[in-house]
Amino acid sequence: MTKKETYWLLGSTLLAFALFFAPSGFSDFDLSSTTDINVYDTYYILPRFALFVFVLTFIFFVVYLIRMLSQKFKNIIANLIFISASSILILIFTTLIAIVHSIRAIPSKLENSSLNSEIIENGGNAWNTTYYVLLAIQLLLIILLVISAVKTGKNYKYLK
């Protein structure tokens, strides 16, 4: 790995640290703690390390997408880091899609006094939209992964 690539890798990692710890004023560097997310009556407890991995992967994805496109897929190391970040993001989005799918399966209920307090299920909710947006993002990630892998394979063949 060249010095330039090492600097890009360290710079991206430092950017992820800054973006992750800046909201807390750089006072909480403990990655072993947890974060609670409340959805309806369910609490999702996530390790803070998992959230940091998501932020780090997202930063790598954006930085190396820009580098890969600006260099027209000629930098093999940048391409491989982008492919790795894309693969990890696809796995993360697969987990998010499963969680959102389980949440959207919970019917939201509404009481209507004009129908003698019958309970009516509300079919459309924001979780359906979130589910389809996450699926679209994952499809885009897969398309970018395939394109970058094919272009990297072609350029690697010419470098030999």
Q: In the numeric block, which tokens belong to residue 70? A: 């600006």
- Enumerate long-range contacts of 19-25, CB under 8 Å, 24 or more apart: 19/55, 19/59, 20/51, 20/52, 20/55, 20/56
Which of 2-6, 81-85, 97-101, 156-160 reaches the highest mean pLDDT?
Answer: 81-85
User: In terms of pLDDT, which residue wins out, 106 or 114?
Assistant: 106
Write the pLDDT tens digit of every residue in 16-48: 888 887 776 656 666 777 777 787 777 778 888
In the predicted model, is pLDDT for residue 56 greater than 80? Answer: yes
Task: Provide the total of helices (H) and of strands (E) in the chain, helices listed first.
Answer: 4, 4
Helix (H) or strand (E) holding 119: strand 118-122
Residues whose CB falls within 8 Å of the CB of residue 133, separated by 6 or more in sequence, listed in order: none
What is the arithmetic mean of pLDDT over 124-150? 90
Q: In the numeric block, which tokens belong to residue 9? A: 């890798």
pLDDT computed for residue 38 by the predictor: 80
Q: Across all residues in the chain, what is the average pLDDT?
A: 82
At 154, the pLDDT band (50, 70, 90 cuts) reads: confident
Question: pTM for the complete prediction?
Answer: 0.77
Distance CA 71, CA 107 (A): 48
Angle made by CA atoms 101, 90, 51, in degrees to the nearest 5? 80
